[in-house]
Structure formats: C-alpha cells, structure tokens
A and B are shown apart, each in its own frame.
Chain A
C-alpha cells in the first residue's frame, strides 16, 4: 500500500509539469499580451512597450519564460499580476475558498439527492417510478448547465424574487444555494443513474438471497448487505467528480456572478495574465489528482477484493 501511494505521488510530477507547460504554451500562443492589454485603447510608444516587456521577461523565448516561472514557483512565488500589481497568490487565496465552498455545496447536494433518487428507483427497477426518475435524469443530462442556470435564475430571482440574481462578494452560504444546485445537477443525474443500476443489479445477487434466508430484518438486508456493495462504484465516481465540480464551477460562477476561481480565470484571460491562469489551473489539476488518489485508496478499503501492490 505504502509503495503504491509513493508511486502514485511520483506519477503526479510529470502530470504537473505537463499541464503547466501546456497551459503556459497556450497563453503564449494567444494573440495580444498583458502589456498591450494594460495600455488599452491608447496608443503607446512601441519602444516603451518593448522596454516594459524586457523588464518583465516577456521578450524571452517560451522555454526560458517557463523555466523562470517554474523556478519562482518552487520558491513559493506564483508571480504578480501586471495590471493590478497584486501577487497571484493573493488572488488565489481570495478566489479559491469561494469556489471550494460552492463545489462542496454542489457535492453535498449531489450525494444526498442523487444517491437517494438512485436507491429509490433501483429498489423498484422497471416500475413507473423508476422510469419517471430515469426520464428526469435524462433531462438533466441533456440540458447544458448554462441553460439550466439562466432558467433557474430567471424563475427564482426575476419572477419569484426569492433570491438575488447575483451573489455578493462575501458569497454567503444562502446565496450559494441556487448556484450549487445548478452546478451539481449534471453530476446528480449521473450519480442517480449509477446508484440505480448498481442497486438493481446487486438486488439480484446471490448474497442478497442469503441475507433474506438468514432471517435478517429488511432494514438490515438493504442497509448493510445491499448498500455496502452498491455504493462502491458510486463512491469511485464521486471522487473524480469532486475535481470536475471545481472545473465546472467556472461556468456557473459566470452566470451568478460569483467571484470565485472561474471569475478570476476569466478576468486573467481578458488581460492575458499568463501567471494567474497557469497558477489557478495547476492548482485545480493538483486537487483533482489528490482527490482521485484518495478515491482509489478508499476503493480498496470498501472492496476487500481490491489489493494495490
């Protein structure tokens, strides 16, 4: 087990380097640059621009800029935004907690509602209620999240006036409820379907017959014997999903004006702030990798037949 974890951690290094390099190169390839963006519509002396670029190291070739960036990163320096002069680390520490809060809300919603729907449908597979819930999840899967987002916003904020259409800078829990539902709805549909299939399948397993033949109460047959087996694939999915929720938050944040990571990336892209984009994306990648490692370990705990060596 220890060796397995060590190997997985080592494998993260090339993934880390690859993803930073990729994002870095993409930022480099984009037309425009941060210095010009700073100037905006004004005409500025080209010599002055060249001088500023030289000062910032932006005239160097790509590989050189990248090495400089990595070097700084290993000293704990994420760089500084050119336009605002704020350290990127500050931007990240402002934006990340909001997004994480949003993602955790969405995650909780996904887990509680998705698994409940899945169990409810799976226990009575192929009945009317199962078919109904299946259709509902299909609808959720086929609606793009920005459409659902605008729909719910229009309905709950503009028509009913229950919530504010925009989330304030504090991003209080109550305000994040609606965005979390929008963000979690796609995962919810997947979780519900996965749980449903898993429950319906395990319900027919031989060991379930044994559990009934042992004279166990129904509560125990379902709660212990069925659930312990049925939730294994669901837990695996949920782990990787947590990472995906962080990424997916970008769109939802745009709709509800949440000032999280999505907002920060969007602003940084507009100003061609390469360091900010790379820093945030890298962090998301790392969170994703760690989450999937934890899930794989959890998998081995839940299913004793899995052994990592």
Chain B
C-alpha cells in the first residue's frame, strides 16, 4: 500500500544523518472498543507517515477516528475497553506497540508530545502552571526545582505569555483560553520533541485567538524543524500550514494528497463533499452544501465502501467490495507523488 511520504520539497529532517526514513510511520492500524452494545471499530487500517519538519493534516467528520489514532500513537488509549488487534506504529523505524512500558514512556514527552483540544480540562486544576511545566524538566532531565522553574518561565516567554515571571505560580483557571492553549503548547515543546500531535488545538478558542495560536504553533514547528500531525475540522487552517493531508472516514484513510492538489482536484467523493461544504464568499446567499446522511455507526460499518450509503456516485460494486487506498495518477498514467484514494471510481472523480 502506498503511503504519502513522497511529498516534494520537504525540508531536510533534523538529524538526517542517522535516519532518512519517516519519523513516524503508522501501518495498518486497527483500534476497537468493547462496549455494552458490541465492538466499536473506531480505526480500521490507518496508514500515514510524517517526516521531520513536515506537517500532516488529518481531516474528517466527528467520530471518524482521528483522535483515537492519535491516542494510539501516544499510548494513552483507554485499555480496556480499547484494544489494538492489528498494526504497527513505527517511530524512527522501531515499533512502539511492542516496546516495554518504560521504553515507551521515555518517548512520550521527550520525542513525541501532544497538544489537546481543551486546555482547561487537560491541565491539572490544582497544580500551578509553573509546576506542570517544570515537571517536564525535573522528570526527564533531572533538573532541580529551582532550575526547572527558571526553564518554565523561559518557556512561557517563548510562547509569548505576558509577564511570565509573575504568572508562573498561577493556576490554569486564572488564564484566558488562548493563554492556556499557549501553556499547553509550551508544555509540548518543553523538551523539543521530534514530533508533535495537535488534536484540534484551536477548536475551543474564539476566531481571533485561533489564528494567533495557530501561527505560533507553525512558527515554532519551523524553528525546531519538528514533524507535526494536525488534527482539525478547519479546512481553512489546513491550507495555510499543512504540507499534506489525510482524509479519514469511518476509521480509514480515504484520500491522501499534498495540500494544494487536494483542494484543486479531490480524488474521492467524500473529499469533494467536504470541500463543497466550505462556505464561500462568491456563493453568498445560496444554500450551503452538506453531505447528506449521517456518519456510519461504528458498531455496524456498511459492507463494501463505508461511504456508499451517502455517496452520490455509488454503484453496485461499492456495496460489496472494499476499495483499497490506490495510487492516483494523471490521465496519461503520469505519476502524482503522495496521492492516493480509496474509491473504486477515483479516475472519474479526479479526471471526470
């Protein structure tokens, strides 16, 4: 199966001498949850990869398994009820799923860090932000309390929190939403990890603050040359910062592409639908397009292509055969690096 690490003009990976492969490589990942009503198949064979300095945006409707995939990478799935029946998560070529607890713990925070959507509930309410930031240095680098606190202030300055020195002993609830998200970013950046996973980092913020936080994240990513997995609903944000996109539906990647190509020529009817549902200025007054129907019930995913009950292009084969993520090429067979689509009729979609 082709994976989307062929994107052109990627900046040279950090420490490229030791390893030229992708930083993170998720292969055929499956995740399921045992619930009272049955087995929820949240992730059904996800493949994606990220290189140093590269930004992968993961798109998809609510419930498509974006967060669950991220949690599986981070090792913070609720297990039980969660289970990973199949798949590999390679970090610098090593499968994290077969590592011991301690080995894996040392990767978390130091090599791979995560930014959560809701900073208020994701920060510990009874510990000062200074403590929570300093904890990273104390635990992973064995710094003294005092040195770690100094580093925490430095970090808060770094993410442009005004009066960092005075505010280091404040508690999370004493900050505004945007400032709290900056603290989350600072915490993820503390040990300059190789990869950051940001799960809807700006969804909980108001629009003006969203842009600031996103800019900050993009700037720091460039500066440290980190890989970034950006999970989002916001197609506008994606166009600005992402290098490549993976579109998820019912726990699978249905389309992958370099960012601008996806906007220009989607190769999957679901992606087409997503793009058409973005409000546009030149269509002001017209009714907004929406993909008809509801996301599938993960307890009982439709046979064949999971999207078939909602797809305007569905044929009989779509109800019986599962479309694999196939390489997408030009009409004349010319290569389109990094592009793939899991649709029986991708040719008609992109060239039709």
Contact = CB atoms under 8 A, between A and B. Distances in A.
A189 B123 CA distance: 32
Contacts of B126: 228-229, 232, 302-305
B122 interface: yes
Interface in B77-113: 78, 101, 105-110, 113
A204 B77 CA distance: 11
Contacts of B171: 304-305
Interface stretch (A68-76, A128-136, A207-215, A250-258): A207-215
Contact of A305 (B71, B105, B125): B125
B338 to A, nearest CB: 29
A213 B109 contact: yes
B139 A229 contact: no
A214 B116 contact: no
Nearest to B125: A305
Nearest to A208: B124
Contact of B139 (A212, A217, A228, A302): A217
B313 interface: no
A215 B127 contact: no
B156 interface: no
Contact of A214 (B71, B108, B118, B125): B108
Interface string B113-136: 110101001111111000000011
Interface in A167-215: 204-207, 209-215
B152 to A, nearest CB: 13
Given A206-B122, A225-B124, A214 B107 contact: no
A212 to B, nearest CB: 5
A240 B127 CA distance: 25
B308 to A, nearest CB: 35
B123 A210 contact: yes
A220 interface: yes
B124 A209 contact: no
B21 interface: no
Contacts of B124: 207, 210-211, 225, 228-229
A211 B114 CA distance: 11
Contacts of B116: 206, 209-210
Nearest to A203: B78
Contacts of B113: 213-214
Contacts of B76: 209, 212-213
Contacts of B123: 207, 210
Contact of A205 (B71, B121, B140, B173): B121
B199 to A, nearest CB: 10
A215 B114 CA distance: 11
Interface string A208-242: 01111111111010001100110010000000000
Contacts of B78: 204
Chain A interface SS verdict (over half): helix
A303 B126 CA distance: 6
Interface in B217-249: none
A19 B110 CA distance: 61
A222 to B, nearest CB: 13
A229 B173 CA distance: 15
A215 B105 CA distance: 5
B108 A206 contact: no
B179 interface: no
B74 A206 contact: no
A211 B75 CA distance: 12
Nearest to A304: B171
A304 B124 CA distance: 11
A224 B108 CA distance: 18
A31 B33 CA distance: 70
A90 to B, nearest CB: 47
A224 B126 CA distance: 10
Contact of B135 (A205, A207, A216, A304): A216
B187 interface: yes
Contacts of A305: 125-126, 171, 173
Given A206-B116, A305-B173, A212 B122 contact: no
A212 B113 CA distance: 11
B87 to A, nearest CB: 20
Given A209-B76, A209-B116, A214 B136 contact: yes
Nearest to B120: A206
B140 A215 contact: yes
A25 to B, nearest CB: 46
Contact of B127 (A212, A213, A228): A228
B74 A216 contact: no
A204 B78 CA distance: 9
A210 B197 CA distance: 12
Given A220-B139, A228-B127, A210 B122 contact: yes
A305 B139 CA distance: 26
A232 B118 CA distance: 23
Contacts of A207: 121-125
Contacts of A304: 125-126, 171, 173
Contacts of A206: 116, 118, 121-122
A213 B108 contact: yes
A302 to B, nearest CB: 7
A225 B139 CA distance: 14
B75 A212 contact: yes
B314 to A, nearest CB: 38
Contacts of B173: 304-305
A209 B122 CA distance: 8
B135 A214 contact: yes
A204 B76 CA distance: 11
11 contacts: A206-B118, A207-B124, A210-B123, A214-B187, A215-B107, A215-B109, A215-B139, A216-B109, A228-B127, A304-B173, A305-B126
Q: Top 5 nearest A-B pairs by Cβ distance?
A: A215-B109, A215-B108, A206-B121, A207-B124, A304-B171
Given A214-B113, A215-B139, 15 more contacts: A206-B116, A207-B123, A209-B71, A209-B116, A210-B123, A212-B75, A214-B187, A215-B109, A217-B105, A225-B124, A228-B124, A228-B127, A229-B126, A303-B125, A304-B125
